[in-house]
Amino acid sequence: MLVEVASAIVRSPRVMQIEGMFDLPAATESRLQWEATLPIEDRPWHIGLIVGPSGCGKSTVTRALFGRQMDRQIRLPDWDRARAIVDAFPEGMSIKEIVSLLSSVGFSSPPAWRRPFQFLSTGEQFRASLARLMAYAEHSPNWDRFFVVDEFTSVVDRTVARIASAALAKAVRRRQLRLVAVTCHEDVEEWLQPDWVYRPASNVFDWRRLRRRPAIVLEVRRVHRSAWQLFRTHHYLSHDLARSAVCFVAFWGEQAVAFSAWLQALTPARCKREHRTVTLPDFQGVGIGHRLADFCAALWKALGYRVRSTTAHPGYIAARQRSPNWQLVRSPSLVRFNPRDAHIRHAVTRLTSGFEYIGPPLDRGLAERLLAGA
């Protein structure tokens, strides 16, 4: 496909001065051309990446190839400055579908879902926008389950970009959608894992094989309960933390990314229960919170405890049901309130599920050292 862009040059005095300073030929028109060859109909695919430096023609080529999809997206209504972001999704979507979609792109903070778009952080706005585009691609027949994101990850820092790319890729493939991401940032490729990559600067197109995304290596440490202050506003339940909680934090390098607190269960005997587990928004969407909870559960099991967890978060319930490490012991339901069970008072008013950890234990020596804070 030949892609050509032409624009008139108004030869003002300043333009003529530039021509003289840099020995440019006098002209009344500027013309750029790209001979773009993208054989994307040759194979089935879900994710494409158009990447290259600014000025190489990414957006121009993208519009020539996918202008219909881009025009539909431009016509989306603006975010309502007075209403919660969950009200900006297509009318036909249920709240469960919206929650699932927001969680799938790594935006798993229910307190933030009630805010208008302008009160979200930059990273949260980026993920909310991705979720809404996916919603329209999935629920609008004329979108053909296809959407385009120009300037992909340009407004967020590179850590958020990498994590969000991995979360988005998983969500797009799970929902059988198609995405074309357009960006000047090469670092997203190994996290987004596209099926094909086109580089307009060199006019090179490549099909890719899916690979594992880069590993996220976490270090878990026992911490003082004061560490909760960094995480408390991002948890979907109360911001309070029990005084007797035993707390752990997962670090990625020196960055604290997730928190998990555990309490002694009233029943059965010698049983620990999950109290609070939360991942900071910038790191949501790649399973860090679930891995930390599994690690802590394995620690308690190594020390001879049974391990239980009660949760109301739909995403957490779904992940636990898929996990071989957890067994469902109570299907989503309301529970009868017993004064002795103050820790499950919230389960009286909304659906929760109960799980028991059945995965492997941690090495006992390592578990003892971690519990001792060594």
| Co-location of 122 and 201 in the same domain | yes
Say whether both 306 and 247 belong to one domain.
yes
Same domain (yes/no): 179, 278:
no
- What's the mean pLDDT when you consider all of the chain? 89
pLDDT value, residue 133: 95
Please check whether residues 117 and 54 belong to one and the same domain. Answer: yes
> Does residue 298 fall inside a structural domain?
yes
Decide if pLDDT at 33 tops 80.
no
* Predicted pLDDT at 199: 93
Task: Calculate mean pLDDT across residues 51-77.
Answer: 87
Of 181, 207, 233, the residue at which a domain comes to its end is: 207
**Closest to 342 measured CA to CA, from 293, 296, 278, 275:** 275
**How far apart are alpha carbons 313 and 290 in whole angstroms?**
12
For 105-115, write each residue's pLDDT tens digit. Answer: 999 888 899 99
Compute the residue count for the chain. Answer: 374
Q: What is the pLDDT of residues 283-307, one digit of tens each?
A: 998 999 999 999 999 999 999 999 9
Higher pLDDT, 290 or 32: 290
Domain that holds residue 68: 37-207
Residues 238-254: what's their mean pLDDT? 91
Q: Are residues 42 and 28 in the same domain?
A: no
Residues 16 and 109 in one domain: no
Same domain, 29 and 129: no
Say what the pLDDT of residue 336 is.
57
CATH number, domain of 133, equals 3.40.50.300
Q: What pLDDT score does 324 carry?
A: 96
Question: Last residue of a domain, which of 179, 207, 235?
Answer: 207
Q: Averaging pLDDT over each range in 42-51, 204-213, 267-276, 333-342, which range is the top one? A: 42-51
CATH number at residue 341: 3.40.630.30
Q: Does 127 fall in a domain? A: yes
| Paired sense of beta strands 47-51 and 196-199, if any | parallel
- Same domain? For 359 and 346 the reply is yes
How far apart CA 134 and CA 179 sit, in angstroms, is 9
Are residues 227 and 111 located together in one domain of the fold? no
If one counts the domains in the chain, the total is 3
Assigned domain for 275 exists: yes
Q: DSSP letters along 179-241, please? A: EEEEES-GGGHHHH--SEEEETTTTEEEE----PPPP---EEEEE-GGGGGGTGGG-SS-S--
Q: Is residue 213 part of a domain?
A: no
* Judgement on whether residues 169 and 242 belong to the same structural domain of the protein: no
In a domain, 214, yes or no: no
288 with 273, same domain: the answer is yes
Residue 198 and residue 233 in one domain:
no
Sorted by sequence, the CB contacts under 8 Å of residue 267 that are 6+ apart come out as none
Give the mean pLDDT of 184-205.
94
pTM above 0.85, yes or no: no
